Amino acid sequence: MCIFKFITHNKSEDLIENFDPLCVDMESASVAYAYYINNIPCIVIRSASDNADEYGSENFENNIERAALNSISLVEGVIGKLGLIKK
């Protein structure tokens, strides 16, 4: 699902109630949109490191390394499936 809009706290409650998303990503929207309007395929890979709540900073510090490793693993898997790396 892709929505090009800024997500406020009130909007996040609506999104959760109506769509039950696992996460919301606003930062990648401009990059994805630039690729979209130029008809260029694009994959954005992100790992969530926190819940963007009152414990966000603490969760970020505790989870950043695992989130980075998850991203690396996913990128390696995608590259492998696309046959871009010979093993």
The structural domains of the chain, with segments of one domain joined by +, span 9-82
* pTM of the model as a whole: 0.57
As a whole number, the mean pLDDT across the chain is: 80
Q: What is d(CA 68, CA 47) in angstroms, rounded to the nearest whole number?
A: 7
Check residue 74 and give left, alpha or beta (phi > 0: left; psi -120 to 50: alpha): alpha
Q: Which residues of the chain are modeled with pLDDT < 70? A: 1-10, 52, 86-87
Contact 58, 49 (CB under 8 A): no
